[in-house]
Structure 1
Amino acid sequence: MKFILAEKPSVAKNIADALYIKQRQDGFFEGNGYIISWAFGHLLQLYDAKDYDPKMTKWQMENFPFMPEHFRYKVKMDAKKRGKEDAGARKQLQIIQRLINRSDVQMIISACDFDREGQIIGDSIIYQLNRQKPVYRLLLNEWTADEVRKGLATIKPNSELKPLQDAGVSRQWADWLIGINLTSVATLKYQQGTGKALNIGRVLLPTLKIIYDRDQEIERFVPEDYFKLAAQFSTEDGRAYEGIYYENKVDRFKNREDLERIEQALDQQQAMIVDKKVERKKEYPPMLFNLSNLQGFITSKYKGWTSDKVLKVAQTLYEKKYITYPRTASVVLEESLVEKTANVLERLKAGLPYEHEIQFTKNKRIFDNAKVESHSAIIPTYVLPKSLATDEAIVYQAIKNRFMMQFMPVAEYEETRITTKVQEIPGIFATKGRVQLVEGWKKVEAIASTDIILPLVHVNEPVHITEHQITKHVTTPPKRHSEKTLLRVMETCGKGVDDPDTMAAILSGYSIGTPATRAETIKKLLTVGYITMDNKSLVCTELGRNLVETFPVKDLFDLEFTGRLEKTLADIEKRRYSKEQFLQFICQFTVQAVETIKSSEDVTLNKVTHTKKKFEAVGKCPLCSHQVIEGHKGFGCSNWKNGCQFVIWKNDKFLAALKKKPTKTMVKALLTKGTVLVKGLTSKKGQKFDAYLQYTKNADNDYFSWQMHFPDKNQ
């Protein structure tokens, strides 16, 4: 018997389906020689500082820096019940332990995601519960049935993944050391009031600095006027075109007087076409999506989307077997995927209006092992979705379209450049036209091309000056960062998009964070109040600015420093650097940083004030008859201190799946009538409907579940 541990229940179900196992039991599947169980992401978490030493329960400056001799793990804590274990995680760990220790289980296979986090999720659970049985690794880029069966036939000893485990553990322990020590000491040093921490993080601060720097550029920007001169020309037979005046390859002039002298000299002058160039040019489609590009594309195109939301939806599509692994930095495919890609293309193109134009081709722009790091670009799988929720359809269609574009004809256009010279004038007038000749891949997303059609003219042809005008313009400041532009800077560690070293830097791991963590970093900056969002623009708050300008550990704001740390983690994966060396450096850095903060000037960056919130009662608790009141995160029983657990969370997953949040009116109706009619619920297919909802206590415990029934249309 072989035991498989998946990262999530949905993945376990995919594996069970591939192995034709239908029997599901409490916490696992079993059949055909396999037992398949699952985690819920991380079931274990690192000890808190107070778990190592009771004196760390209260933050006191003299207790820092705090360095555990050995890092230890415990059952993850319940996010909704402060200070208590997650009961579901504890139960699932017990199930896994019982299954692993069964006498008929000969080997353990970790089927967690093939990345740093997936490796430590699996390893932390398996090695915590098992010390004897051999452990193997299932490494997949998609969860389709064919790939699962092929992968199980080629599993590797988990020992071969030790470098990946070392990199994951190094990242996890380093972030704990920096986060726990510097957050604690910075909060004690720079904040007045309690109940909130001044968050300090290895990836958080350099990302904040990127936004701060752009804000400063905008604040320091001084607008300047500039002027341009345009002239209208006409051929002998009346065909017209416009030219912009250039002198020494410059078309912007600070002094209007300079252009006015040129403009006056145009009167009564002859002009002649002195040069004409016509070139046929090719436009290649944008590269396949990696996670950062997908997030940037969706967040810039659709209102209300964040990079964190894009990742969550893409992860759902991956777990449903519709797309390949989304947390990738690559924009090309491994060359071993040629045959598979051709088969996927044949399935996807069937029935499209431009189907005959889609032709599979193998070229380095699509398939290139040298430009793939761990995972290939995101593409659809051969599993075609029968129905998708609205959000899923947006992300899936973007991935599908980008994939199709690679195999459509290259778009082509004709560019014409005309140079017109006026006697006695030092500069020239330049004119550029463009005509789309082949639409090609642009058909996929109906990308419109703006044609500028010029008259047919010839070199040495005389033309008349019919009109001329000087126009005034004002320089504009750089735009504020959006999630799209911020993700790009994080991905390239501040290098320009056209920098020849950019791709080499990305592939070597020289970046801020990883594709899997960047969205969470932006979300946390918003949550802790260091930045705010203005429409789609990201802006530093006063607290964020104060932190950048005052916090004395400047290395943590330095993109180069953070990039080198991320590069070192990538080098650990490749066996070029050791975990021990990295953690030694992190420990030294943390100790020095703590001393720097302690010896810095006493200033207040943040003042935490508390105003007592008046809670409005919305009804009686169905468990204990005390008042139910509205809190920040939910509608809960006021008797919670005595153990009553009744609550309706504002982020309730059942309601969220229906695109609804509980309102005060809804909860009042539930508590008084036991049922409420909710209008405008959204199905998985994106269709609106109305339904009666009840929040009913389970028979065997104090938890509640939602029940739904529909209005009688005959009434």
Structure 2
Amino acid sequence: MGNTLILAEKPSVAKNIAEALHIKGKQDGYFEGNNYIVTWAFGHLLELYDAKDYDSKMAKWRMENFPFIPASFQYKVKSNPKNRTKPDFGAQKQLKTVHSLMKRRDVESIVSACDYDREGQLIGDSIIYKQKPSKPVYRLLLNEWTPEGVKEAIGKLKPNEEMRPLLHAGMSRQWADWVIGINLTSVATLKFQKGKGKALNIGRVLLPTLKIIYDRDEEIKHFKPEEYFKLNATFLTKDEQTYEGTYVDNKKEKFKDRASLDQIQQLIHNQQATIVDKQVDKKKEFPPFLFNLSNLQGFITHKYRGWSSDKVLKVAQSLYEKKLITYPRTSSVALDESLVGKTAKVLKVHSEGLPYQDEIKFMRTKRVFNNQKVESHSAIIPTYLKPKRLTRDEEIIHTAIKNRFIMQFMPVAEYEQTKIITKIQDEQVKGHFLSKGKVQLVEGWKKIENIESKDTILPKVNQDDQVEVKGSKVTSHMTKPPKPHTEKTLLKVMETCGRNVKETDDSEEMLGSILAGYSIGTPATRAETIKKLKDIGYITTDKKNLVCTSLGNRLVETFPVKDLFDLEFTGRLEKTLSDIEKNKVPRNDFLNLVFSFTRESVEQIKNEQDIIINEVSSTRKTNEVLGKCPLCGQGVVETSKGFGCKNWKKGCKFTIWKNDKFLATMKKKPNKTMVKSLLKSDVAYVKGLTSKKGKKFNAYLRYEKNKDNDYFSWKMEFKK
């Protein structure tokens, strides 16, 4: 019997597959045993050619060379990140290993086990078909890497040809981003940037995301606060109990005219009133839907300081590869109906030992199991494996996913809402006073994360009861500007292409947008886009808020290709990619649209006025002299690694290293102020040193030359 070769996307996943198939034999670049060989990629082993690989004249950016669109797209071994002219040694070696295993005579079939998404399909197919295999190729499709999941999926392999639409979507995305990125980044940099340095980065997903933040910044900047007034009254019941009410007239409780409220306040002073209506309703509160990636990123970045969407994805990916959660790069908030049995088992595992275990009941509900609300992958849930050792970060993400999952099977929370309408007996007072009370009756799923409900308790009164006005107050308020975007709110707009920006997880309209494929980027790329906007300096963070930099503002206001900022335009492109994936649209229609858009955009930029969007300072900074060298009298300057004498080429040894070991023991690094003081006064007063026990202290430090050589040592003093 021959062997089956399985290609995984990463070494960690290959290890999971080998463990599930009880393969013990580890070789150089693969596992082998039990009629299986399991090998791996490191993500993309191949990448698209650079422009200069097609044509040597493209090695230098010249306006006349653009637009540049290759007749056919070629792939090469991934470049070494430190030297782009050479291939990455590890990638090259592993590619040879995979291809030699494919050629082995005892290998009868090949299985691509890369991630079940368009990027995973592209990774697997680019590696496998580079070799032009004569053996049948199959596809392993699964949502989790648990032993049971792997064994089950191996029994349901699909012919890889059936995944062609997914590959075409992956290639189309990759080629489109290459063409738009290479052409518009190059031409925009040549046209709108002065000085050499980082390019002016232009991208299909980058610019509309920047525009969302820019638009919110502009709303805030041009917001004009307006004053409004409210009238509140305190009523006294026959039982000497009080309650508050807000004045409402024509369904309005905010008034621009204070004088009218002042007049009503005078009219109601010490007046009698009647309770004309009392309504008591029981309301249900359902738990928020299961997590998709965007909702998980939003939840974590909002709840915990120091988390970015990018970090959430990295930690979730780690949990996925450790077999502890299902596939994280999903846009769905429900589970496929075929997962009912598996889900019941997962719930049983994670319910054990919980203080509210008796309240957890497995049920098949449309809210959790709904094929209409599943796009490619189900929502993120834990697997049946309980974690043994987790980092603090992994624990935060795993607990959030586990809690959100268990919530679905806890009792629905219930509260009682009471509305009382109180009418003043004086007919000159046209409106009424509205009072609202709320009492939590059933805590239900809120127990899991100790979500406290604020109760507002009203006294026991009945319709037609007489009450008395005890006091009243007119209060002044100002309308508030919209809040700056956070990663949570930005992800929501990106996910739904701006179609529904209410911050509710239960919006049907939001789900509709996601399922139709209208979005900016994919769950997998949104975090990367936000990180890139920060890294290239188009946006910055202020606590949790995201705001445009002056460069980001200039780009939005000046860059002429306005379609690239348009959410609808980008949403349509993403929707077309989604349709290619579903075999509804041929990829050439999409690519021809992108290529013609790129050609037109390049011409538009070329014909634009010469405006500087970004000026890169080309003058090198002259190093500030911090003081005289105690050995030779030359100037001491800052370098990347320390503070040293300019005369070092002639052998002067004076240096204070930035990673100085003595200072590092006290969690301190030398800075300019410290060095200047040492050179001027032979001593520096240093605050915030840390003792071995972790206590902060201040001290005087000296940096003195040793008697027997040219090296220096630290001395510490404490002066009163």
Give TM-score scaled by structure 2 length.
0.86
Secondary structure class of the residue paired with 2:305: coil
- For structure 1, which segment, 77-86 or 278-287, has the greater mean C-alpha deviation from structure 2 after superposition? 77-86
The CA distance in 2 between the partners of 1:552 and 1:308, in whole Å, is: 30
Task: Look up the match of 1:139.
Answer: 141
User: Aligned-pair distance for 1:496?
Assistant: 1.7
Deviation at 1:84? 2.5
Task: Report the residue type matching 1:609 in the other structure.
Answer: S
Matching of residue 125 in structure 1 with residue 127 in structure 2: yes
Correspondence for 1:438: 442
Q: Within 5 Å, which residues of 2 pair with 1:50-199?
A: 50-199=52-201
Deviation per residue, 1:83-108 (Å, 9 max, x gap): 32211111111111111111111111
Contact 1:615–1:631 (Cα < 8 Å) also in 2: no
2:534 corresponds to 1:526: yes
> Is the contact made by 2:270 and 2:468 (CA closer than 8 Å) also made in structure 1?
no
Answer yes or no: is the 8 Å Cα contact 2:45–2:78 preserved in 1. Answer: yes
Q: How far apart are 1:267 and its partner, in Å? A: 2.1
1:603 aligns with 2:605: no
Residue 590 of structure 2 aligns with an amino acid whose one-letter code is F
**Compared CA separation, residues 91 and 487, structure 1 to 2 (3 A):** same
1:142–1:321 contact (8 Å) kept in structure 2: yes
- 1:374 offset after TM fit, Å? 0.3
The answer (yes or no) to whether the contact 2:139–2:158 under 8 Å persists in 1 is yes
1:14-52 per-position Cα deviation (integer Å, ceiling 9, x unaligned): 000000011211111011111111111111110000110
Task: Mark the runs of 5 or more structure 2 residues left unpaired by the alignment.
Answer: 625-637, 643-655, 669-691, 694-720
Aligned counterparts of 2:667 and 2:336: Cα–Cα separation in 1: 48
Partner residue of 1:590 out of 576, 589, 598? 598
Question: Structure 2 residue aligned with 1:491, among 489, 492, 495?
Answer: 495
Tell me, in whole angstroms, the C-alpha distance in 1 between the residues paired with 2:12 and 2:120.
15
Aligned residue pairs total 637
Give the aligned partner of residue 375 of structure 1: 377
1:47 is aligned to: 49
- Please tell me the residue identity of whatever aligns with 1:253: F
Deviation at 1:678, TM superposition (A): 11
Q: Identify the residue that residue 247 of structure 1 maps to in structure 2.
A: 249
Instruction: Give the secondary structure class of the aligned counterpart of 1:184.
Output: helix
Listed as ranges, the matches of 1:14-29 within 5 Å are: 14-29=16-31
Does the 8 Å CA contact 1:279/1:416 hold for their aligned counterparts? Answer: yes
Q: Report if aligned partners of 2:110, 2:135 keep a CA contact under 8 Å in 1.
A: yes
CA contact (8 A) 1:231 1:467 kept: yes
What pairs up with 1:364-443 in 2 under 5 angstroms?
364-422=366-424, 423-424=426-427, 425-443=429-447
Give the Cα–Cα distance (whole angstroms) in 1 for the partners of residues 238 and 484 of structure 2: 49
Aligned-pair CA distance for 1:665: 5.2
Asked whether the equivalents of residues 331 and 377 of structure 2 are also in contact (C-alpha less than 8 Å), the reply is yes
Q: Is the 8 A contact 1:480 1:539 kept in 2?
A: yes
1:13 aligns with: 15
Residue pair 1:100, 1:130 contacting (<8 A) in 2 also: no
Query: CA–CA distance in 2 between the matches of 1:64 and 1:513?
Result: 26
Are residues 1:542 and 2:556 paired? no
In 1, Cα distance between equivalents of 2:170 and 2:349: 37
- 1:488-544 deviation digits (Å, cap 9, x = unpaired): 000010012567543222101111000000000000100111100000000001111
Report how far residue 613 of structure 1 moved. 6.4
Amino acid in structure 2 at the alignment position of 1:222: K
Query: Aligned AA for 1:193?
Result: G
TM-score by length of 1: 0.87
* Cα distance per residue 1:438-491 (max 9 Å; x no partner): 000000000011111110001111100000000011111000000000000000
Find runs of 4+ consecutive structure 1 residues off by over 2 angstroms. 80-84, 497-502, 610-616, 629-632, 663-666, 676-680
Distance apart, 1:213 and its partner CA? 0.3
Q: Distance in 1 between matches of 2:620 and 2:83?
A: 21
Letter of the 1:265 counterpart:
L
1:510 equivalent to 2:518? Answer: yes
Instruction: Report the Cα distance in structure 2 between the residues aligned to 1:110 and 1:613, rounded to whole angstroms.
Output: 53
CA-to-partner distance for each residue in 1:391-425, whole Å, 9 max, x for gaps?
00000000000001000000000000000011221
Query: In the aligned structure 2, how far is the partner of 1:556 from the partner of 1:85?
Result: 33
The amino acid across from 1:464 in the alignment is E
Aligned to 1:710: none
Q: Do residues 480 (structure 1) and 488 (structure 2) align?
A: no
User: C-alpha distance in 2, partners of 1:241/1:313?
Assistant: 49
Determine if the alignment matches structure 1 residue 558 to structure 2 residue 566: yes
Amino acid at match of 1:365: R
**Distance of aligned partners of 1:271 and 1:509 in 2 relative to their CA distance in 1, 3 Å threshold:** same
| Residue 334 of structure 2, aligned match among 327, 332, 335 | 332
- RMSD of aligned alpha carbons: 2.1
Matched, 1:35 2:37: yes
User: Of residues 262, 272, 282 in structure 1, which corresponds to 2:264?
Assistant: 262
Matching of residue 571 in structure 1 with residue 579 in structure 2 = yes
Equivalences for residues 301-312 of structure 1 within 5 A: 301-312=303-314
Matches of 1:87 and 1:572, distance apart in 2: 35
What's the offset of the Cα at 1:236? 1.4
- SS of the counterpart of 1:74? strand
The percent of aligned pairs where both chains have the same amino acid is 63
Structure 2 Cα separation of the partners of residues 386 and 665 of structure 1: 40
Task: Mark the runs of 5 or more structure 1 residues left unpaired by the alignment.
Answer: 617-628, 635-662, 671-675, 681-688, 691-715
1:449-488 equivalences in 2 (<5 Å): 449-488=453-492
Q: Secondary structure at the match of 2:130?
A: helix
**Structure with greater Cα Rg:** 2
Q: Is the CA contact 2:196–2:618 (under 8 Å) kept in the aligned structure 1? A: no
What is the SS of the residue equivalent to 2:524?
Answer: coil
- Aligned-partner residue type, residue 262 of structure 2: E
Q: What is aligned with 1:686?
A: none
The answer to whether the 8 A contact 2:269-2:471 is kept is no
